[in-house]
């Protein structure tokens, strides 16, 4: 049975999609069967994985409106053995309107994923940068949430808002939802401010900070245009090494057979 993790932060530009992409590739390289789910109508994850969102015949939107099943829509990611994607397209924006009319709208994704969970060891859900019904679906389907955090004051403030949403989801949709931890992204260890923000998040909210931090690098900007993750584009870079280390930590938490 797959470990299902939602990657969420309602603040945009915190490397959320990069985190899902990189952890998906790193986990597949560990020999795990991985599904990444793109819940963002902008479809940045789908594009970064080498697919044209505008050219897709089906996307996760078709799953939400019950035209297709996850197994029919998901597809293997070229060049990464063991990694599949449930892709998104702009049609997903219409899913939000559709879901608002449905009973049990928070549980639609969880129910859709259930038949395929035995086929994977890890499912990573890329939630949109909002706290709307799509993100609520991601959090309801997940066992735990990972929070990418850019170490600056505004991003720090967003963690508190997201944790309030997690509490709401626990109350009405997913009582077992946990916070797996914070991942520091675009980290600049030369600045005292970045270090202090990271320390304060752990102390104030009492949640784990996964290590090592992912350092800021131009390599992250270069990789998506090639349809690759940083692990493929710059495999020896500090960013790639950081995501490999975090993937090993997650594997150790989720499955004893994968060593740290």
pLDDT tens digit sequence for 16-26: 999 999 999 99
Q: Which two tokens stand for residue 38?
A: 């793109």
pLDDT at site 260: 33
Q: Is residue 178 very low, low, confident or very high in pLDDT (cuts 50, 70, 90)?
A: very high
Q: Which two tokens stand for residue 105?
A: 């709208």
Cα torsion 241, 38, 43, 97: sign: negative
pLDDT at site 12: 82
Separation of alpha carbons 248 and 238, rounded Å: 15
Most confident of 100-104, 140-144, 182-186, 203-207: 140-144
Separation of alpha carbons 10 and 72, rounded Å: 29
Please say if the pLDDT value at position 65 is more than 70: yes
pLDDT exceeding 70 applies to what percent of the chain? Answer: 94
CATH 3.40.50.300 fits 3-254, yes or no: yes
Q: What are the structural domain ranges in the chain?
A: 3-254
Please say if the pLDDT value at position 256 is more than 80: no
Chain mean position to CA 10? 12
Q: What is the pTM of this model?
A: 0.92
Task: Reduce the DSSP state of residue 149 to 3 states and report it.
Answer: strand
């Amino acid at each position: 049975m797959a470990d299902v993790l939602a990657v969420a932060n309602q603040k945009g530009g915190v490397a959320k999609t990069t985190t899902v992409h990189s952890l998906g590739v790193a986990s597949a390289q560990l020999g795990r069967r991985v599904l990444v789910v793109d819940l963002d109508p902008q479809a940045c994850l789908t594009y970064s994985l080498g697919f044209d969102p505008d050219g897709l015949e089906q996307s996760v939107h078709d799953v939400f409106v019950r035209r297709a099943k996850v197994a029919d829509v998901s597809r293997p990611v070229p060049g990464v053995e063991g990694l599949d994607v449930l892709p998104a397209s702009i049609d997903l924006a219409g899913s939000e309107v559709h879901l608002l009319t449905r009973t049990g709208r928070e549980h639609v994704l969880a129910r859709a994923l259930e038949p395929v969970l035995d086929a994977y060891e890890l499912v990573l859900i890329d939630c949109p940068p909002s706290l709307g019904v799509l993100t609520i679906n991601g959090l309801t389907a997940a066992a735990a949430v990972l929070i990418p955090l850019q170490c600056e004051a505004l991003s720090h403030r967003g963690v508190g808002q997201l944790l309030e949403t997690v509490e709401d989801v626990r109350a009405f949709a997913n009582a077992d939802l946990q916070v797996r931890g914070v991942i520091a992204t675009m980290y600049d260890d030369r600045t005292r401010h970045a270090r202090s923000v990271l320390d304060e998040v752990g102390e104030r909210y009492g949640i784990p900070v996964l290590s090592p931090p992912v350092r800021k690098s131009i390599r992250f900007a270069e990789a998506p245009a090639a349809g690759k993750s940083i692990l493929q584009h710059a495999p020896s870079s500090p960013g790639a090494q950081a995501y490999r280390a975090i993937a090993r930590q997650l594997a150790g938490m989720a499955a004893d057979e994968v060593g740290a």
